[in-house]
Structure 1
Amino acid sequence: MKNSIFSGRLSLVGTAVVVALSAPCSTAQAGDTEFKFGGYVKTDVMFSDYSNGAPGSGAISRQFYVPGAIYGAEGNGEQVVDFQARESRFNFKTSTNLDGHKLSGFIELDFMTHADGNERVSNSYSPRIRHAIVSFDNWTIGQTWSTFQNPGALPENLDFVGAAEGTPFVRQSMVRYTNGGFQFAVENPETTVTPNGGGARITSGSGMVPDFVARYNFKTEGGAKFTVAGLARQLNIEQGDLDTQEMGYGVSLTGVIPVGSDDIKLSATVGEGMGRYMALNYANAGVLNSDGDIETISSYGGFASYRHWWNDKLRSSFTVSGFKADNDVALTGGAVNEESYSGYVNLLYSPVKPLTVGVEYMYAENTKQNGDSGELNRVIFSVKYVL
C-alpha cells in the first residue's frame, strides 16, 4: 500500500514537471507545490576592436567585457567578430506551502565563462551553476547573488554584466536571514592579494571566518527603491611561510529612481580590502608588505544609467561606469590595475513582450599603475527570447 501511494505521488510530480516544461505558461501545480520553468535564449554578435591586439578566441573577454582582461596577445589582430549563444539559460523553481510555512527551491544554469569548448566544429560548452538555493520562510541557503550586491539596480545593457567595473558582482554560497527590509548573511570567504613587489595574484581560501553582510532595502513615497549594504571580511593567507590576517570592509548604496515612464539606476561603493567584490576582481583586496603581512587596498567605484522609453516597445539605456584602486606602488609595483572606465548606449526593441532585439555600442579603457593602458570598442547585436 505504501509503495502504491509513493508511486502515485511520484507519478503526479513527474506529470507536473512535464507540464511545466511544455505548457506555454511554464507553470504547473501538484497539490500544494507549484512548479515553474523559465530562462531565455540569447544570441549575440559582437564586433570588437582591441587597441593592444585581440585576446585569443577562448578568452573570457571575448564573451563579455571583463575589466583588466582586454589586453590582447602580441601580434594578434585588433579587430574580431564573435557569435555566441552562451548567455542562454534555464531555471527550475518549486514552491510549497507547508502549514503556513513557505518552502522553495531554485536552480539556474547557463554556459558562460567555460573554456572547455571551441569554435572549430560544435561550439559545445558545459553548463555551469548560477544559482542553487533552498528557502524556508525568512531563511535562504545556497548559492546566489551576494547580499552585498543589488542585481535589481543593474542597467539594461546587452553586455553580459554591463557597468562591470562600477558594481559589486559576486555569486557565492551563503546563509541569509531576511526580516522586512533587513537582510543579514554569512557568505563564503576567499582572499586575493598581490605579492610584495608585484606578480601573480595569490588566492587563498584558508581561515574559519565567513564574510559578513548586512543590508537594508527601502522605498520612498515617490516610488524610488534604495539599498544600503555593509560588508565586513577577514583577509587570510596561510600558505608556506605566510600566515597573516587583516580586516576589510565596504559600503554600497544602490538605487532605482523612476522618472515618469523612464528610470535612473545608480550605484556607489567604497571600502578597504573589498577586492573580488568589486569590478570582477579588477583589483586585489590587499598587498603583502616586506614582513609578509597584508595591507589592504582601498578602492571605490560606481555607475549611473538612464533608461528612456521612446514608446511602449522601444527603449534606450545610457550608462557610464568607473572604478579606481589606490595602490601603494612601493608594495604592489607598477604592473597592477589602477583605473577602469566604460560607457554604453543601446537601442532595444520588443515587438512582442517575450522577444527583444537590440544593438549596443560600448567603449572601455583600462589603465595600469605604470600608465600602460588598453581600449576596447565593441558593437553588440542581440536577439533574446524569454521562455
Structure 2
Amino acid sequence: MKSITKASICICLIASCSQSTMATEYHFGGFIKANARYVDGDIAFQDSWTGGGSITESAKRTQFSAAESRLNVGITHGDVSGFAEIDFSGSSQGNAVFSNSYSPRLRHAYISYEGLTAGQTWSTMVNTSTFAETADLGVPLAGQTMVRQTLVRYSTDSWQFALENPYTYGTKAGSTVTDKKWVDTSNDYVPDAVIRFDKKGDWGNVSVSSLLRYLDPQDTAQFGAGVSIAAKLNTIGKDDLRLQLHYGNLGRYVGTDAARDMINGEIETTTSAMFAYRHFWTERTRSSLFYGVTMTDIEQTDRFHAGVNLFTNLTPVLALGFELGRYQIDDGQSPYSGEPAPQGASNYAQLSLQFYI
C-alpha cells in the first residue's frame, strides 16, 4: 500500500491469468465530518432540512453529531467497475443514551460495464454537479432532485436512458387529516423511465431530463410526466452559479418529502427551483448563497430553504465551514380538511469540520 495525495487509496492486486496479467484496483474514499447544529423556531428539529417537517410550539435545540461521516470503495477490474458507499445519517439505532452507536445505511451499490450501470445510485434525474457546497447535509433539499434508487441505465457521451425503480408515494381517495389512506405500492409494476441529455464545455454544463411514469395504485391508474433542467455555469474567476428547475408530475423526485406523487387519488403537479452562487474570497476561502423552493398544486405545499455560509480549507484535506439559514413552511389550504394548513419557520446555525479521506 502506498500513500498518495488524492482523497483515495489505490491498491493493485496482480493476478496471473492464462492469457495476460490483470490488475484489480481498489479506491477507498469518503470523509469524516463533525457537526455542531443549533435550531430555533417552530418547525421540529431535523439533522438536516428535508422538504418535510412538522410544526411545533418550540424547536430550540443544539446537537453535536458525526453521523454524516461517509466511507466508500470503488473496484475496477478491466472494463468492469463497481462502487459501494455507506454513511450513518438517519439511523434509528443510535441516541445519546446508548452511546450514539449509529448503524450504517447503504447509499450506493452499483456495477458499470461498457456504458451500462446497474444497481443503486443517483437517479438519472440528478445532476450532482449542481449541488451547492453547504454545511447542512444535502444542500437546499426543498427545491432540488435528491433521489437514490435501483436502476438500469445506458449512457453515451451526451445521452442517458434509464429504467428506474417504481414507487408511488401519496394518499388514496377518501383520505382525511386524521385518517390518511396511504397508497398501496404493491401495484407499482411499470418502471419509471428517464431520458437525459447533457451538454458540457469550458463554460460549465447543463442537463435536460424528462421523466415518464405510470402510477396504478388502485383503481386510479394515471400517466405522469415531468421535466428537469439543471446547470452549473462558470462566472468570474473560480466563481460559479448552480441552478435547477423542475415542473410536472415529479412527486418524490423533487423536494425530498415536500411533494407527493398522488393526493386523494389525484396525480400531483410540482413546481420546484434551486439556485446557489459560490464566490471565492481567496484560493482556499469561499462562500455560497443558496435558495430552494417547492410548491404543489393539489396539496398546496410551499416549502423553502435559504442560507449563506463561509468555508475555508485549513489544509488541502480539512475544511471548516459555518452556515446560517432558514427553513420555512407556508402551506396553503389542506386538501383533506379544507382548512388552512399550519405554517412556521426555523432558523439555524451550523459549524462543520470535514476531513476528506
* Residue 210 (str. 1) matches residue 210 (str. 2): no
Query: In 2, are the aligned partners of 1:34 and 1:95 still within 8 Å (CA)?
Result: yes
The one of 166, 185, 193 aligned to 1:189:
166
Q: What secondary structure does 2:301 align onto?
A: strand
Query: In 2, are the aligned partners of 1:50 and 1:70 still within 8 Å (CA)?
Result: no
TM-score by length of 2: 0.89
Amino-acid identity (%) = 31
Taking the TM superposition and a 5 Å limit, the aligned residue runs for 1:1-387 are: 19=1, 26-31=9-14, 32-51=23-42, 54-55=44-45, 61=46, 63-72=47-56, 77-97=58-78, 102-196=79-173, 197-199=175-177, 200=180, 202-203=182-183, 204-220=185-201, 222-237=202-217, 242-259=218-235, 260-272=237-249, 274-288=250-264, 294-327=265-298, 336=299, 338-369=301-332, 370-387=340-357
Query: In 1, are the aligned partners of 2:50 and 2:257 still within 8 Å (CA)?
Result: no
Q: What secondary structure does 2:220 align onto?
A: strand
Change over 3 Å in CA distance of 1:244–1:195 after alignment to 2: closer
Aligned length: 335
TM superposition shift of 1:71:
2.3
**Range that drifts further, 23-32 or 85-94:** 23-32
Query: In 2, Cα distance between the equivalents of 1:215 and 1:67?
Result: 24
Query: In 1, are the aligned partners of 2:71 and 2:87 still within 8 Å (CA)?
Result: yes
Query: In 2, Cα distance between the equivalents of 1:66 and 1:169?
Result: 10
TM-score by length of 1: 0.83
Q: Which amino acid aligns with 1:210?
A: P
Query: In 1, are the aligned partners of 2:127 and 2:207 still within 8 Å (CA)?
Result: yes
Q: What secondary structure does 1:346 align onto?
A: strand
Deviating above 6 A after TM superposition, structure 1's stretches of 4 or more consecutive aligned residues are none
User: Unpaired runs of 5+ in structure 1?
Assistant: 1-18, 56-60, 289-293, 328-335
TM superposition shift of 1:23:
7.0
Query: In 1, Cα distance between the equivalents of 2:142 and 2:242?
Result: 15
Query: In 2, Cα distance between the equivalents of 1:286 and 1:70?
Result: 20
Larger radius of gyration: 1
Query: In 1, Cα distance between the equivalents of 2:59 and 2:181?
Result: 27
Larger helix share, 1 or 2: 1
Q: Cα RMSD over matched residues?
A: 1.7
Query: In 1, Cα distance between the equivalents of 2:186 and 2:199?
Result: 34
**Range that drifts further, 77-86 or 312-321:** 77-86
Q: Which amino acid aligns with 1:224?
A: G
TM superposition shift of 1:371:
4.4
